[in-house]
Amino acid sequence: MFERHGITTFCHLIATIALMAWSNSAVSQGRFDELGRLFTDVEQRDKLDAIRQGAYDEETESQDTVSAVTVNGIMMRSDGENVVWVNGESTLEGNPAKGVKVYTKSADSHTYSVPVRVEDTHVRIKPGQSWKESSDQIKDGY
């Protein structure tokens, strides 16, 4: 009888562990979905949805102009050309994106703002700030 009781207890233990593992993965997946929405904007979510559905065309994406510009950083040189990081890309080898012109030589050494032209729009953006075409506003990154 003792041996039978041990097998039953062992089966209950395995079933409990399996149930806990299944419920934990379901809860974790729900939390990851929520976090994804916290750290992506509407355009990024639309692009991800299109990729998942197989309707994403990479050629169309590469031909599109930039609709948002973020100045990630700037290095002001006293004896050379300034370097600006825009949308995660350096200006060392030219402008970082099609349709975006960064005027590194005109960066203001007092305010650290950088003149940027996106198509026909001219804006001055400081490191950490972003400009979006849809709102035509400059916002701080924090």
The pLDDT tens digits of the residues spanning 41-50 come to: 777 788 888 8
The reported pTM is 0.53
For 86-131, the pLDDT digits (tens) are 888 888 887 777 778 888 888 888 898 999 988 888 999 999 999 9
Token look-up 């102009």 returns 65
Give the Cα separation of 29 and 23 in Å (integer): 10
Q: Is residue 96 domain-resident?
A: yes
Domain enclosing residue 115, as ranges? 65-140
Q: Looking at the structure, tell me whether residues 34 and 77 fall in a common domain.
A: no
pLDDT at 39 > cutoff 70: no
> Do 71 and 135 lie in a common domain?
yes
Closest CA to 98 of 112, 117, 111: 117
16, 75: one domain: no
